[in-house]
Chain A
Amino acid sequence: DAGVIQSPRHEVTEMGQEVTLRCKPISGHNSLFWYRQTMMRGLELLIYFNNNVPIDDSGMPEDRFSAKMPNASFSTLKIQPSEPRDSAVYFCASRPSGANVLTFGAGSRLTVL
């Protein structure tokens, strides 16, 4: 298996632009998580899905952030409009049913100028 695949690996954009980050979980995993890593807060949970359904989005910082999981093999995290304080590394992780261990992707480094 190729693991959790995230794209793009790096994104540089200007303030006010829309950003879309993508994630393909491991086949057969039914839970998907989005995290943001910053120096101040470490790995911060933004939202997670079970069987494509959002379970907890209390970590989504503002209405500018939205996430979707239209099917079991794809999820997006969208920021619109983006701001410089959104600059961070965003990680996607997935987990199979019955397990507690998450497998992470390599991350998407976002820089908003």
Chain B
Amino acid sequence: DQQVKQNSPSLSVQEGRISILNCDYTNSMFDYFLWYKKYPAEGPTFLISISSIKDKNEDGRFTVFLNKSAKHLSLHIVPSQPGDSAVYFCAASGKTSYDKVIFGPGTSLSVIP
């Protein structure tokens, strides 16, 4: 029973275009959401996050949107670059910093030059 779902195992996008990665969650107690990027043979690295009190957070080329009523969030990358090719994990956590962090299965993004 996966609490965090990423239904697209892979995505291919042309360089310069927008990449949209989607994530759905089932537990309404989740309060904080994170995106991580992972290159082969490396550990995941933090990319961007959003609290449930917001519906959008932006950091450079990366924007995360949160729709609480739909229990859905998305990561937009504009413009996409070949170096963005990696596996992207969506994660969710509870209200406190002592809560566990649950990850989705990941989406492999390929940005084609």
Contact = CB atoms under 8 A, between A and B. Distances in A.
Given A35-B103, A50-B98, A43 B44 contact: yes
Interface residues of A, number: 28
Interface residues of B, number: 23
Contact of A101 (B49, B100, B103): B49
Contact of B100 (A56, A99, A104): A56
A106 B42 contact: yes
Contact of A105 (B43, B46, B102): B43
Interface of B: 6, 32, 34, 36, 41-46, 49, 89, 91, 93, 97-98, 100-106
24 contacts: A31-B98, A33-B101, A40-B105, A41-B105, A42-B106, A43-B89, A43-B91, A43-B105, A43-B106, A44-B103, A45-B100, A48-B100, A50-B98, A55-B98, A56-B100, A91-B43, A93-B43, A99-B97, A100-B32, A101-B49, A102-B34, A104-B44, A107-B41, A107-B43
A36 to B, nearest CB: 11
Contacts of A44: 103
B1 to A, nearest CB: 12
A49 to B, nearest CB: 10
A10 B46 CA distance: 23
A90 B100 CA distance: 17
A21 interface: no
Interface in A13-70: 31, 33, 35, 40-45, 48, 50, 55-56
Contacts of A95: 97, 101
Interface of A: 4, 31, 33, 35, 40-45, 48, 50, 55-56, 91, 93, 95, 97-107
A56 B94 CA distance: 14
B34 A106 contact: no
